[in-house]
Chain A
Amino acid sequence: MIETNRKRQMTRMIKDNNSVLILVALLAICFLFVDGYTNGFYNVLVYSSIYGAVCIGLGIVMITGNIDLSVGFIAGVCGIAVVIAFNAVYAATGSAALALVVGIFAAFACGALLGFINGFVIAKVGVSPLIATIATNYIFKGLAFYFAKASYAPTSPDIVKVFAKTQLFGLRWLTPSVILFFVLIGVVAFWMHKTRFGNNLYIVGDNPEAAAFSGISVSKTVLLAYVICGLFAALCGFLMVSFDGYAIYTQGNALSTFPISCCVIGGIKMAGGKGTAIHILLGVLIMRAISTMMSVLFLSTDMVNLITGILLIVVLVIDRFTSTKEAE
């Protein structure tokens, strides 16, 4: 009896942490068999820190049982907002520090607004999240295209680059953005499990009817989740500008499928109600490890597309399988 329980506990532990196993196995294979991976590994951490914020935001929305396909272009628009605000304030005052503060504020304001639009259309108007965010994705893409067809750089770029380009202690993989990403994961993990609103996200995602019966405002929770998602996308937009040194409308393209893949492979269920910030972290690291492996191997375009497609299917199969299993 005790042995059966122990076996069950072990199985449960493995199932709950299968993304850890995937990451460990993946990294082991990469380090052992892929030439040049050690040299390119810093990419995994640095790029995870740049794009990771958008995955945190999307993960929060997914936990409520919703989806946001526009999150990449929210980040793109916010990145452009950073540069527009930065350049305007810098031109008016000559203060790069002030311009940076206003630029960051503009990005967050923009992210919150775009997130609110998504949330309002979905939670208050009742449009399907899939359809609504496909539509807003076009709108945000159009906005980004209108403002930054070609690259649009801050007029005093050095101060903007500090966040993503500064190598702390001379280590290439240790930048302020990497530290920020891990701190954010910790904060979000705490917030989601130790606060009432964080718990409400899970309850709404797990069973919205039950949530409503227990007095939780489902629409308000979902709306706020989208606003928070917009804020994280804004952070990502700012970090992309900090890392690349410019904003351009195609920056949103890079995030079209990446955040969803990260969340699902990490263990966030598309049906909602399951997953943690740690799962998002693992998902981001796994996806970046694979992406880095493909570029270190200099794979051809057809191979990259093939593998990306297969990977998405594997991710969805895993999601489907584990969701069914849990439902049983």
Chain B
Amino acid sequence: MKKLTKILALVMAVAMMLALASCGGSSSSGSSAAESGGSDLSGKTIGYVTITSTAPWGGLVGTEFERIAKEKGATVRVLDAQTDVAKIAEYCQQMIDAGVDALAIFGGDPNANAEIAKAADEAGVPMFMCALDVAEPGRQYVKACVGPDQEQMCYDIAQYIIEANGADSGMKVVQISGVPFLDDYIQREAGFARAMTETNYNVLEADYAYSSRTDAKTFMENHITAEGDTIDIVMGYDDDLTMGAVAAIDEAGLTGSIKVYSLTGQNDAIQAVADGKMELTVMNRAGDIAEETVNAIIEYLSTGSTEYYHYTPLTFIDKDNVQDYIGKGEF
């Protein structure tokens, strides 16, 4: 029996190693131009390193990027750091070592990404930022930054709130945010905070629910328990999390008395706007960012340059236009 166990463990280990060795490129999706019909990136290998492939919106940016780049004839290599910022650097170096023709990064820490950008530039690999920017010292090494102006987006949402509720109404605001070290959330919170300085609102410290709608719901339940009907506004920095807060508000029978504002534009949030459970969501299409990143890469690889900022469009969805968008979110 013991002998059998030993043999089994050995066989398992060897089989696993051989299986690993033979499944190289299982997530790297090579497709020739002839197969896909595209030619802009034919013969090129594009690396894509992401901080997460499991969060709904972040995952969609990746899958769309991969799909579009493949359609253009590229071979796409994908590595997921699974929210480990340090892994982003390791994986980017791996991409550089593998000799990719261009490297796109989604997420991570801006300072860390600046270091990576420098290394990529030294290795002659053009680097592109997807949905967020690098810290200022790294910009000279990055070829393009694609996505909405995160800071301005949340500044504009805050202005929308101020316009609807008045600057001097002393509203109490609960903030539900995502991952504290991810630059997109940092920028969003900064934009909101910038606008809030022009008001007398009582803005509470942000709660970080990471990628968990359940945690967001728990945070909101705690706020309702602790502060009851003194809460006026919830600002959510991601629809998926905001929907957790909406559920808590709904269960507490406070729908309508607490106004909820958010962004992403996912289907259940759009429906919540239609149902009067939310005031606003902002459509920030992952597909637009993915497509524009691929376009920026094509432009750079074919001409040797591209403009630094490629801003993608945003659509404010509220009760006035929500009927046009029901069911038209990306997920």
Contacts and interface: CB of A to CB of B under 8 A. Distances in A.
Contacts of B112: 151, 244-246, 248
A303 B23 contact: yes
Given A34-B24, A149-B180, A307 B86 contact: no
Given A298-B77, A301-B53, A250 B22 contact: no
B256 interface: no
Interface stretch (A24-32, A63-71, A108-116): A24-32
Interface of B: 2, 5-6, 9, 12-14, 16-18, 20-28, 53-54, 77-80, 82-87, 89-91, 93-94, 97-98, 109-112, 115, 180-181, 186
B94 A43 contact: yes
A22 interface: yes
A317 B109 CA distance: 38
A322 B85 CA distance: 36
A150 B90 contact: no
A244 B90 CA distance: 9
A117 interface: no
A265 to B, nearest CB: 10
- Give the secondary structure class of A's interface: helix
Interface of A: 22, 25-26, 29-30, 32-36, 39-40, 43, 47, 145, 149-151, 153, 240, 244-246, 248-251, 253-254, 293-301, 303-305, 307, 310-311, 314, 317-318, 321, 324-325
B21 A299 contact: no
A36 B90 CA distance: 15
B56 to A, nearest CB: 14
Contact of A150 (B14, B18, B109): B109
B54 A253 contact: no
Contacts of A298: 24-28, 77-79
Contact of A321 (B2, B14, B94): B2
B181 A318 contact: no
Contacts of A25: 14, 17
A92 to B, nearest CB: 23
Contacts of A305: 82
Given A254-B87, A295-B90, A307-B16, A321 B27 contact: no
Contact of B21 (A29, A253, A314): A29
Contacts of B14: 25
Contacts of B53: 300-301
Given A151-B111, A151-B112, A298-B28, A47 B23 contact: no
B20 A293 contact: yes
Given A26-B17, A299-B26, A254 B84 contact: yes
B13 A22 contact: yes
B13 A314 contact: yes
Nearest to A300: B27
Nearest to A39: B97
Chain A CB within 10 A, most for which of B16, B17, B84: B17
Nearest to A306: B16
B75 to A, nearest CB: 10
A246 B108 CA distance: 13
Contact of B23 (A297, A310, A324): A297
A250 B22 CA distance: 32
B89 A244 contact: yes
Contacts of A324: 2
B84 to A, nearest CB: 5
Chain A CB within 10 A, most for which of B6, B14, B86, B112: B86
Contacts of A307: 16, 20
B17 to A, nearest CB: 5
Contacts of A145: 180
A96 B82 CA distance: 35
Contacts of B90: 43, 47, 295
Contacts of A251: 85-86
Chain A CB within 10 A, most for which of B13, B18, B77: B13
